[in-house]
Amino acid sequence: MADVQGRLARHLDANPGAGWVVGAGNPPEILPNGVGDAQLLDAVAGGRPVALWAADHHTL
């Protein structure tokens, strides 16, 4: 998950604003214990809404 947080932080730095950040293609196994935790993204996103779809398009 640290890799996703790092990529998110770089994206936010390069794309300032208030809009949604939408990503796709993440392998589901990056989630700790297979469970997403919004707090891990919120810690980096600074209040911006984030939606990350898994590569299987079943997990958001």
User: 6-45, pLDDT tens digit by residue?
Assistant: 989 999 999 998 899 998 887 777 777 766 778 888 999 9
Identify the pLDDT of residue 56: 78
Identify the pLDDT of residue 50: 93
CA atoms within 13 A on the CB side of 30: 18
- pTM of the model as a whole: 0.78
Q: What is the CA radius of gyration of the chain?
A: 11
